[in-house]
Amino acid sequence: MTLPRIAIDAMGGDEGVRVMIEGAALARREHEGFNFLLVGDQTRIERALQSHPGMAGASEILHCDDVISGDEQPSRAIRRAKTTSMGLAVNAVKEGAAGAAVSAGNTGALMAMSKIALRTLPGIDRPALAALMPTLEPHDVVMLDLGANTEADARNLVQFAVMGAAYSRIVNGFERPSVRLLNIGTEEIKGTDALRDAAAQLTEATARDDGGLALQFDGFVESDKINRGETHVVVTDGFSGNIALKAIEGSARFVTDLLRQAFTSSLRSKIGFLVSRPATELLRHHLDPNNHNGAVFLGLNGVVVKSHGSATAKGVAQAVNVAARLLEDRLINRIADDLGRLGEEALKRNGNGPKAAPNET
């Protein structure tokens, strides 16, 4: 079977072409069957490929020297979708020239371009930005939405839960991932009407005799429990999710900076650092964002992965690996199947499903 290509926006990100090409080359070691469409300045890409000869034969270059800047408004970026490296990478997915697109560029512009070019899957009102976050357990937690939608009603939250569970089944291997809604408390009476309504819908949809949706709904979770590993998918609106994400990232940086100050404050502290270095290296590895890089726009009729703009080659490789796994495990089909089951349940709940045939005498 010929695997679809992955389109790489080689011009996006803080480090530009060199890091994007190096990251793609690292990812290909794990996914040898994939080829790449490298979108960007041909001269710079060819220069970068000289350091990765194995990539040259597995890549096609689509020349483009127009770039979306990091502070460009999405409305303006959309108008330049046909002339920029980001827009052409997304358009390659739309046209079937690639199965997925990876970019480290402007998040808002990437979301806007992707939504217009690829549209949402049937049954999805809004796409959501999902990412993996570290936990105390061996598995990561999938969290969405992280900024694509500042507001979300109950219907949106239920759709996010379905998409997040499908994503978790691929990246973490859980058959029925545990899903919780982010709330200010775990009691059923807590939260907004949208949260309580979404909880009721998910409870009903997962309580069917046939197993219902391929997820386990476990109620609400508070923000201080996101990284405990007690749940596999955390669902929220983009406004709350983005605040929670940045608070967690800021806390991680605070802890690492505090440890650095403590270990350099005196000679005794420096000796203590040498003794505890294996533990601190493990902590640094666990908190390194490059090891969890690759946010996904779930709900689109195509795979688009957003890499951190500051990602190293290792981080870019992680984002490309995410795109490859989602293609290999057919994420779009999984979401569509789950939405179909959710739709059938909604019909039954509303009394509009197919009626049983009368008994014959």
pLDDT digits (tens, 9 = 90+) for 260-279: 777 677 766 666 656 555 55
In percent, the amount of the chain with pLDDT more than 70 equals 84
pLDDT for the residue 231: 92
**Which CATH number is 1-124+299-329 given?**
3.40.718.10
Name the band, by pLDDT with cuts 50, 70 and 90, for residue 330: confident
Give the pLDDT confidence of 276-289 residue by residue, as tens digits: 555 555 555 555 66
CA distances from 145 to 244, 245, 254, 290 (A): 11, 10, 24, 20
Per CATH, 1-124+299-329 and 125-290 having the same topology is answered yes
Instruction: Look up the CATH superfamily of 125-290.
Output: Isopropylmalate Dehydrogenase (3.40.718.10)
Residue 353 pLDDT > 80, yes or no? no
Give the pLDDT confidence of 123-133 residue by residue, as tens digits: 889 999 998 88
Q: pTM here? A: 0.82
pLDDT for the residue 279: 52
Average pLDDT estimate for 41-63: 90
Average pLDDT estimate for 222-249: 90
Q: For the chain, give the mean pLDDT.
A: 83
pLDDT for the residue 222: 93
The token pair that represents 330 in the structure block: 């057919």
- Residues 322, 325, 326: CA angle, nearest 5 degrees: 85
Residue 199 pLDDT > 90, yes or no? yes
**Domain layout of the chain by residue ranges:** 1-124+299-329, 125-290
Residue 182 is inside which H or E element, if any?
strand 178-182
pLDDT for the residue 268: 65
pLDDT for the residue 63: 95
Name the band, by pLDDT with cuts 50, 70 and 90, for residue 348: very low
DSSP conformation class of 289:
G
Name the band, by pLDDT with cuts 50, 70 and 90, for residue 361: very low
Give the pLDDT confidence of 295-309 residue by residue, as tens digits: 899 999 999 999 888
- CA separation for the pair 145, 160 (Å, rounded): 7
H helices, E strands: number in the chain: 12, 11
β-pair type (295-298, 303-306): antiparallel
Residue 311 pLDDT > 90, yes or no? no
3-state secondary structure 94-162: HCCCCCEEEECCCHHHHHHHHHHHHCECCCCCCCEEEEEECCCCCCCEEEECCCCCCCCCHHHHHHHHH
pLDDT for the residue 329: 86
pLDDT for the residue 94: 94
Which residue carries 């759709």 as its tokens?
159
The larger pLDDT score, comparing residue 310 to residue 158, is at: 158
Phi, psi of 319, rounded to the nearest 5 degrees: -65, -40
pLDDT for the residue 275: 56
Give the pLDDT confidence of 83-92 residue by residue, as tens digits: 999 999 999 9
pLDDT for the residue 360: 35
- CA separation for the pair 131, 160 (Å, rounded): 12
